[in-house]
């Protein structure tokens, strides 16, 4: 007997959207005490489906058909007051962004107490709040209860959200990408907490995610969504290891393998050498070290990975290398020149040799300039005649598998993956020797991610580039980096060939990072990837 | 915020306040000297009523034959000890004139401000709650209208309607002359005189706060924690009060601080129209008489009032918003 | 552009502004005499003796005063806004781009000007420098530039950290190219919206100044007309009502245009209105 029974749910988008319905004909069941993962990329409609259950659809989206059966009633036919009585007491929900999900003006205990008060059990509030905070493994529950949200970290806030959702012991918890905005170690803690809740309290969980690793880690059953429809559904083991639908197969094929590459060690010349680099920032009265005594060596021709969670200093270090951030101390030797001591003018020739690809495809291109101009900017700034620069821009577009028509279009006309290709073309226009890629695929859907990584790998081999690859995702690092360095709180704690570091980590933090990779125990089955029918067809380049 | 942090915050703000006031005094000084002509005749006014003796007296008082920085020092130390100069026209010290008229202005601006905040926030909240309906459109249009009308014209129109045509309310002054009233009767009488001027000054700001509250509430309603509150099953009324309104009020408080200066400036116009005996009216008289000492004295006084008001709103904001850390 | 036109209020505002501008431009044709000249008997009611909107205490045509006054209001409104923008954008860009000590200095300076009650300062400035067109324009500009600086600074601060600006740095583009080709075009939208709202408040400010008698004595303006009508309001209400309506309509139109621009340039916020 299913706890939740969604049948034929169809929800319309406002006119002018990319398709008529946000979701159409969606149906799935959730049994008591099981974890169902709803997986899909952005735009698949998974969040809409989840919001519909609680009646929390954003304005403009209307339910056109379907039923949602819960405890003998159709949730879509309930009156607002009845639905409200269910929210928080029989069905709880937690959201994606912990940093903005709590009212900044109310103490934590008041916000948790609110769930109880609203459902007529306010008298129990005082006694239960601390117990709830302890149940979600928060240290010092009494202090956290009295605190305001801005004092808590993202992981702590998410736990508070879970405590709020659990307060009235609901039958179901809907979790809408609750770990996407968290660090990988924190994510693992939350995932374990969710599994714990399921086992100890028998709560059913509907868990929305885009990450198959997370699915492998906690799901009992899986439903895969694409373009508003469910394309595949089944037990986790079956779907993960023997996917049937082409889209599922493509998604799983795109998951970066954990299998670390072992490359023969080549003694090439040192291209970039960092010695004792320091960078501190002042926050009010306190100083904190973003980068602390960093040493690393990158040899020509290799892909060097810099791995760490947010706040580890990896982006700051990368920006020190390109002079976007001025280090306080240390040497940055590029081919025997110390870059740190150069003036802005002396830096100019080095701009041709070191270039950068940025993380956010939506913010890294000037929205008011055409793609052709964006790519030609760099060479023109270094004296290349305009016509020649634009001609070369055409060639570069072909190199990154975009068609020449893109030259005259504006960034907003392209998808995230396509914009990232433009960003790569822009960097390559300078013909650099060293390419620094700052989390170039972190903001992309997983299928697009795979394409861009393949592109980077391909370009690197063809053009003989050296790459410094920054990422927080160890799986990605395993796939394309020859050597990696692990950073924690500004310090490089471990460094070495990827395969070695993965097989036998020496530092405790590295070990913890490796343990936190979701779905460690699952090896994605080998499948031939779907080959694109032509390199430049827009249907296949994302 | 804890007690000690609050004290430190307060101390920091007061220091800043003192610096600002000093800077304004210097600006005052510069204004006198930047004007075309001899500062003494600027101060004495070009009305021709100033006699040579007075001008010579001024010259000596300001030490105009001394180097500039010495003059500055004389001026600043004078102001700090309460010496704002003498109004030649009225033959009294500027300081005493201002002190005499200040309470009337405080009453007027206080009443106007209270009215504006109360009505503005209420209307703005109503409009936000019923966004897109007729009520919302009506309130928005009204707010837009009052926002576009010059304050002095509103005053004149109110006088025209309520005083000239309907004869319900008096059109000038602060109290009925020629009668000695006490207690309740005095209060009611005073209130009758206060209504039109306070309304005039307040209506513009009602529009400002209504628009601000509405926009702020609509913005806050889209934030994540409101969705969280809904997911908890909280009814809309509770969400509006505890979650949306509270957070929206933060920007209202900030803005109120910024508007304070304009409110006091507006009192010049309102007091002129209604012959209200406050410092605004004093400034207008000073203008007519070319009594620049007095005018600059009023300028300084209003600036200090604004600085004080800003301090109060800063403290209020720090009290309401726990994210403000007094580092 | 099309988004702007879809906003009915904004279109109405634009039409009204055009009408006012046409009135100002054709004042000489519609009323081929000086508005200061006596045209007939004093205190004529609207419609009497050829006076469309009545005559004032000296027999001057109120309608003519309004038409010629339109020139003054629009002129002062736009010129002072341009000057305020010039000051504000320069300082704001400087503070936002340079950061550090320069930013602190500019912000302290701006805060000082924002603390002082702006209208009182304008009155003091015009009074001391004797009222004429130049002093009024400069006075209004001086009290109006601080909000511009704040907005421009905020935009520059946020844009400076945007990745496409960082990319331009990494490519080796010159500082000038970065400011003018990358940052400024993206900072323009809020400046444009602010500009239209500033013209509105400049018109209000100018009318308040001339109401108090601080207008240029050679130029007839709406505020002056209202001020002149104040003492005889019981006798001749039309002297105060019509010029006030003119101010109201012009300022309202400017505000509507400003909101229309804001909605057109910020579609995300506009959807909620």
Residue B268 and residue C119: Cβ atoms within 8 Å? yes
Which helix (H) or strand (E) segment holds residue B282: the answer is helix B279-288
Q: Give the 3-state DSSP-derived string for A477-538, with helices as H, strands as E and coil as C.
A: HHHHCCEEEEEECCEEEEEEEHHHHHHCCCCHHHHHHHHCCCCCCCCCCCCCCCCCCCCCCC
Parallel, antiparallel, or unpaired for β A337-338 and A329-334?
antiparallel
Q: Are strands B86-87 and B92-93 parallel, antiparallel or unpaired?
A: antiparallel
Contact A8, A27 (CB under 8 A): yes
Q: In chain A, what percentage of residues exceed pLDDT 90?
A: 65
Give the pLDDT band of residue B243 (cuts 50, 70, 90). very high
> What is the per-residue pLDDT across C78-116, written as a single tens digit (0 to 9) for each?
999 999 999 999 999 989 888 888 998 999 899 888 888
Residue B62 near residue B80, CB atoms below 8 Å: no
CA neighbor of A3 nearest in space, from A45, A47, A53: A53
Q: Could A103 and B322 be called an inter-chain contact, meaning their C-beta atoms sit closer than 8 Å? A: no
Token pair listed for C91? 């300082």
Residue in this structure with the two tokens 């460094």, named with its chain if needed = A495
Least confident of B44-58, B83-97, B308-322: B44-58
From CA A175, how far away is CA A518, in angstroms rounded? 17
User: CA geometry: angle at A266 spanning A261 and A268, to 5°?
Assistant: 130
pLDDT by residue (tens digit) across B186-216? 778 888 888 899 999 999 999 999 999 999 9
Instruction: Report CB contact under 8 Å: B322, A104.
Output: yes
Q: Is 80 exceeded by the pLDDT of residue B54?
A: no
CA A272 to chain C, closest CA, distance in angstroms equals 17
| Cβ neighbours of C240 in B, within 8 Å | 153, 156-157, 160
B327 pLDDT exceeds 50?
no
Window B:64-103, CB contacts with C under 8 Å = none
Q: Which residues of A touch B247 (CB under 8 A)?
A: 103-105
State the nearest Cα–Cα gap between B130 and chain C, in angstroms: 11
Phi, psi dihedral angles at B293 (to 5 degrees)? -55, -50
- Model confidence pLDDT, tens digit, residues A42-99: 889 999 999 999 999 988 888 999 999 998 899 999 998 999 999 989 999 999 999 9
How long is chain B?
Answer: 327
- φ/ψ of residue A270, rounded to 5: -75, 130
For residue B262, the model assigns a pLDDT of 82
Of C112, C119, C128, the CB nearest to B265: C119
Q: Across the B/C interface, how many CB contacts are shorter than 8 Å?
A: 132
Nearest CA to CA, how far is C210 from chain B (Å)? 11
**Predicted pLDDT at A110:** 93
Strands A483-488 and A303-308: parallel
A355 and C171: CB-CB below 8 Å? yes
Q: Does C173 touch chain A (CB under 8 A)?
A: yes
Question: What are the start-end ranges of the E strands in B9-142?
Answer: 86-87, 92-93
> Between chains, do B327 and A284 touch, taking CB under 8 Å as contact?
yes
**What is d(CA B299, CA B297) in angstroms, rounded to the nearest whole number?**
5
Cβ(B299)–Cβ(C124) below 8 Å? yes
In the beta sheet, which residues pair with residue A176? A208
How many interface pairs between A and C have CB atoms less than 8 angstroms apart?
55
- Pick from C163, C166, C171: which is nearest to A381 by CB? C171
Instruction: For residue B244, give the chain A residue with the closest CA.
Output: A103
- pLDDT bracket for residue A521 (50, 70, 90): confident
The nearest CA of chain B is from the CA of A117 a distance in Å of: 9
pLDDT at residue B254 in the model = 86
The per-residue pLDDT for A262 is: 59
Q: What is the pLDDT of residue C202?
A: 95
User: Is B89 or C236 the better-scoring residue by pLDDT?
Assistant: C236
Per-chain mean pLDDT for chain B:
83
pLDDT-above-70 percentage for chain A = 95
Task: Tell me whether C101 touches chain A (CB under 8 Å).
Answer: no
Residue in B with minimal Cα distance to C114: B258
pLDDT for B291-302, tens place per residue?
A: 777 888 888 888
d(CA A22, nearest CA chain C) in Å: 19
| Strand partners for A37 | A207, A222
B225 contacts A118? CB cut-off 8 A? no
Q: What angle do the packed helices C184-211 and C238-265 form, to 10 degrees? A: 170
Chain A residue closest in CA terms to B318: A105
CA distance A94 to A443: 22
Q: Are C261 and C6 in contact (CB under 8 A)?
A: no
Which value does ipTM take for this structure? Answer: 0.86
Q: Is the pLDDT confidence value at C270 over 50?
A: no
Identify which of C112, C204, C230 has the shortest CB distance to residue B20. C112
Distance between CA atoms of residues A446 and A293, nearest Å: 34
Q: What's the confidence (pLDDT) of residue B216?
A: 92
Instruction: State the helix-helix crossing angle for C118-128 and B292-320, rounded to 10 degrees.
Output: 160
- Chains touching C (3+ CB pairs < 8 Å): A, B
What is d(CA A118, CA A132) in angstroms, rounded to the nearest whole number?
17
Q: Read off the pTM.
A: 0.85
* Bridge partner residues of B257 (DSSP): none
A310 close to A98: Cβ distance less than 8 angstroms: no
Q: How many whole angstroms separate alpha carbon B100 and alpha carbon B306?
A: 19
What phi and psi values does residue A294 have, to the nearest 5 degrees?
A: -85, 130
Contacts of C171 in chain A (CB under 8 A): 351, 355, 377-378, 381, 426, 430
């Amino acid at each position: 007997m299913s706890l939740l029974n969604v049948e034929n749910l169809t929800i319309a988008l406002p006119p002018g959207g990319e398709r008529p319905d946000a979701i159409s004909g969606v149906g799935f069941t959730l049994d008591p005490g099981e974890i169902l993962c709803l997986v899909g990329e952005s735009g698949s409609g998974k969040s809409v489906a989840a919001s519909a259950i609680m009646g929390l659809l954003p304005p403009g989206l209307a339910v056109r058909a379907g039923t949602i059966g819960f405890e003998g009633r159709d949730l879509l036919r309930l009156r607002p007051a009845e639905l409200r009585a269910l929210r928080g007491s029989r069905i709880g929900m937690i959201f994606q962004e912990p940093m903005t999900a709590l009212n900044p003006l109310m103490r934590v205990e008041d916000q948790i107490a609110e769930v109880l008060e609203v459902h007529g059990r306010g008298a129990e509030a005082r006694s239960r709040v601390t117990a709830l905070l302890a149940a979600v493994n928060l240290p010092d529950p009494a202090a956290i209860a009295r605190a305001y949200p801005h004092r808590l970290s993202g992981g702590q806030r998410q736990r508070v959200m879970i405590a709020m959702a659990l307060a009235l012991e609901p039958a179901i918890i809907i979790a809408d990408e609750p770990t996407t905005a968290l660090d990988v170690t924190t994510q693992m803690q939350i995932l374990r907490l969710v599994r714990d809740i399921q086992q100890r309290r028998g709560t059913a969980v509907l868990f929305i995610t885009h990450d198959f690793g997370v699915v492998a880690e906690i799901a009992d059953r899986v439903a895969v969504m694409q373009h508003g429809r469910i394309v595949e559904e089944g037990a986790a083991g079956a779907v993960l290891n023997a996917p049937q639908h082409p889209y599922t197969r493509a998604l799983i094929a795109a998951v970066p393998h954990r299998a670390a590459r072992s490359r023969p060690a080549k003694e090439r010349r040192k291209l970039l050498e960092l010695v004792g680099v320091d960078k501190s920032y002042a926050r009010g009265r306190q100083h904190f070290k973003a980068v602390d005594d960093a040493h690393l060596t990158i040899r020509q021709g290799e892909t060097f990975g810099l791995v760490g969670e947010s706040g580890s200093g990896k982006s700051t270090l990368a920006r020190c290398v390109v002079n976007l951030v001025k280090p306080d101390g240390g040497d940055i030797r590029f081919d025997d020149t110390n870059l740190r001591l150069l003036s802005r003018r002396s830096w100019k020739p080095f701009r041709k040799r070191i270039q950068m690809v940025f993380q956010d495809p939506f913010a890294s291109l000037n929205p008011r300039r055409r793609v052709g101009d964006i790519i030609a900017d760099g060479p023109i700034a270094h004296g290349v005649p305009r016509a020649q620069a634009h001609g070369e821009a055409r060639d570069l577009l072909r190199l990154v598998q975009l068609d020449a028509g893109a030259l005259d279009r504006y960034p907003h006309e392209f998808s995230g993956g396509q914009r990232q290709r433009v960003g790569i073309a822009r960097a390559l226009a300078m013909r650099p020797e060293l390419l620094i890629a700052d989390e170039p695929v972190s903001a992309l859907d997983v299928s697009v991610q795979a394409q861009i990584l393949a592109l980077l790998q391909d370009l690197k081999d063809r053009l003989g580039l050296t790459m410094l690859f920054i990422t927080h995702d160890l799986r990605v690092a395993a796939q394309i980096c020859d050597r990696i360095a692990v950073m924690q709180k500004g310090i490089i704690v471990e460094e070495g060939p990827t395969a070695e570091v993965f097989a036998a980590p020496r530092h405790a933090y590295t070990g913890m990072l490796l343990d936190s990779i979701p779905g460690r125990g699952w090896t994605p089955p080998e499948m031939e990837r779907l080959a694109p029918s032509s390199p430049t067809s827009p249907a296949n380049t994302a | 915020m804890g007690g000690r942090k609050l004290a430190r915050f307060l101390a920091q703000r007061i220091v800043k306040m003192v610096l600002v006031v000093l800077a304004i005094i210097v600006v005052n000084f510069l204004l006198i000297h930047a004007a075309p002509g001899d500062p003494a005749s600027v101060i004495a006014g070009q009305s021709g009523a100033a006699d040579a003796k007075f001008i010579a007296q001024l010259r000596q008082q300001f030490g105009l034959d001394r180097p500039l920085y010495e003059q500055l020092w004389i001026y600043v130390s004078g102001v700090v000890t309460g010496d704002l100069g003498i109004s030649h026209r009225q033959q009294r010290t500027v300081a005493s004139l201002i002190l005499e008229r200040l309470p009337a202005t405080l009453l007027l601006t206080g009443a106007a401000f209270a009215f504006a905040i109360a009505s503005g926030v209420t209307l703005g909240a109503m409009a936000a709650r019923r966004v897109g309906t007729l009520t919302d459109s009506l309130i928005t249009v009204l707010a837009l209208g009052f926002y576009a009308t010059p304050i002095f014209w509103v005053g004149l129109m109110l006088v025209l309607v309520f005083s000239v045509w309907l004869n319900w309310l008096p059109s000038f002054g602060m109290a009925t002359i020629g009668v000695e009233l006490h207690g309740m009767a005095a209060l009611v009488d005073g209130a009758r005189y206060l209504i039109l001027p306070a309304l005039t000054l307040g209506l513009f700001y009602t529009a400002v706060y209504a628009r601000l509250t509405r926009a702020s509430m609509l913005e806050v309603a889209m934030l994540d924690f409101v969705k969280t509150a809904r997911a908890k099953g909280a009814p809309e009324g509770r969400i509006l009060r505890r979650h949306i309104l509270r957070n929206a009020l933060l920007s209202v408080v900030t803005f109120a601080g910024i508007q304070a200066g304009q409110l006091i400036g507006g009192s010049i116009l309102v007091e002129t129209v209604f012959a209200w005996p406050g410092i605004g009216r004093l400034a207008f008289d000073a203008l007519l008489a070319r009594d620049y000492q007095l005018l600059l004295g009023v300028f300084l006084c209003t600036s200090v009032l604004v600085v004080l008001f800003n301090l109060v709103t800063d403290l209020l904001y720090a009290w309401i918003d726990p994210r403000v850390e007094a580092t | 552009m099309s988004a702007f036109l879809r906003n009915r209020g904004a279109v109405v505002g634009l039409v009204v502004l055009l009408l006012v501008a046409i009135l100002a431009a054709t004042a000489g044709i519609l009323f081929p005499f000086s508005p200061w000249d006596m045209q007939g008997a004093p205190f004529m009611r609207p419609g009497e003796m050829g006076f469309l909107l009545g005559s004032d205490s000296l027999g001057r045509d109120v309608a003519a005063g309004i038409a010629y006054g339109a020139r003054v209001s629009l002129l002062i409104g736009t010129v002072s806004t341009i000057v305020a923008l010039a000051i504000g954008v320069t300082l704001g860009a400087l503070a936002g781009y340079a950061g550090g000590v320069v930013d602190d200095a500019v912000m302290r300076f701006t805060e000082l000007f924002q603390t002082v009650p702006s209208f009182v300062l304008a009155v003091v400035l015009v009074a001391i420098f004797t009222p004429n067109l130049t002093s009024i324009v400069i006075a209004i500009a001086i009290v109006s530039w601080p909000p511009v600086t704040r907005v421009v600074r905020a935009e520059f601060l946020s844009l400076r950290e945007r990745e496409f600006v960082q990319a331009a740095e990494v490519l080796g583009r010159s500082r000038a190219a970065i400011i003018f080709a990358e940052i400024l075009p993206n900072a323009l939208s809020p400046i444009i919206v602010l500009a239209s709202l500033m013209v509105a408040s400049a018109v209000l400010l100018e009318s308040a100044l001339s109401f108090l008698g601080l207008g240029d004595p050679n130029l007839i303006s709406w505020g002056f007309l209202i001020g002149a009508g104040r003492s005889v309001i019981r006798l001749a209400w039309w002297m105060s009502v019509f010029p006030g309506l003119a101010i109201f309509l012009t300022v309202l139109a400017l505000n509507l245009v400003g909101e229309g621009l804001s909605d057109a340039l910020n579609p995300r916020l506009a959807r909620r209105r």
